[in-house]
Amino acid sequence: MKIVLIALLFVACIYSSHAENQIICEGQTISIECPVGYAINIQKASYGRTDTSTCPHTSIQTSNCAAGGSHAIINDVCHGQQSCSLSANNSVFGDPCYGTYKYVNVKYECTNPYKAVPHVNVICEGSNGVISCGSGERIGVLDAFYGRSNKLTCPHSQISNTNCASSGSFNSIRNFCHGQQTCSLSASNGVYGDPCYGTYKYIKVTYVCYYP
């Protein structure tokens, strides 16, 4: 647990200290993603062209155009999300400069919306576990699943699948724990179903404690 928290602190230092720039050339689609527990904060965004060197092309009539409302569109799709998919094309933003090959230019950073260090709690199959926060605090569930993603967590002789998760387990755990000061969870097939028969599973919850 100590190692996990140190790693999360390290990630926090990396992702909260600087902005990233992403260029998407016209006709392309890419995904922007932040680590679990972090959200995309759009700082600047546009669809058009401001120079001739970015996304070079033979069809460049102007290097000074931007689609009106492109920032708002990108902000609506990505802001506050852990990940989002963006397509650079006229059907999404309109065509601000006909005959010119354009691109999306996004400047963003990954921020922790709760301003708190995430915690990780693991409950091995067949066991019960309690997630709790301090007095006056509430649980903010960032990520959760029932299944297995590696061999090291909750080691067992019955591991035939290391890539399985119960569909709906995130929503179930989030609905039960999010906004509570404390919650009790049971890691069992009777609660979440069996996503990988014959494999010993576990619940893994990533959460923060925040003041409402």
pLDDT in tens, the chain (212 residues): 333 333 344 344 434 446 899 999 999 999 998 877 788 999 999 999 999 999 999 999 999 999 999 999 999 999 988 899 999 999 999 999 999 999 999 999 988 777 778 899 999 999 999 999 999 999 989 899 999 999 999 999 999 999 999 999 999 999 999 999 999 999 999 999 999 999 999 999 999 898 87
CA distance 142 to 153: 19
| Total-model pTM | 0.57
Q: Name residue 47's beta-bridge partners.
A: 104
CA distance 124 to 201: 6
CA distance 116 to 3: 17
Give the 3-state secondary structure of residue 178: coil
CA distance 5 to 131: 16
CA angle 5, 154, 116 (to 5 degrees): 20
Question: What pLDDT, on a 0 to 100 scale, did the predictor assign at position 7?
Answer: 39
Question: What pLDDT, on a 0 to 100 scale, did the predictor assign at position 164?
Answer: 96
Q: Name residue 203's beta-bridge partners.
A: 123, 146
Nearest residue to 210 (alpha-carbon basis) of 119, 82, 81: 119
Residue 199 phi/psi, 5° resolution? -115, 130
Going from the C-alpha of 20 to that of each of 32, 205, 209, the distances in angstroms are 10, 28, 27
Domains and CATH numbers, the chain: 2-111 (2.60.120.740), 119-210 (2.60.120.740)
Going from the C-alpha of 2 to that of each of 16, 121, 202, the distances in angstroms are 21, 12, 19
Residue 141 phi/psi, 5° resolution? -75, 120
**How confident is the model over 81-123, as pLDDT tens digits?**
889 999 999 999 999 999 999 999 999 998 877 777 889 999 9
- Residues 177, 179, 182, 188, Cα dihedral to 10°: 0
Question: What pLDDT, on a 0 to 100 scale, did the predictor assign at position 66?
Answer: 97
Nearest residue to 204 (alpha-carbon basis) of 155, 142, 159: 142
Residue type, 71: H
Q: Where are the beta strands (DSSP E) in 9-127?
A: 20-25, 29-33, 39-49, 65-66, 83-87, 103-111, 119-124
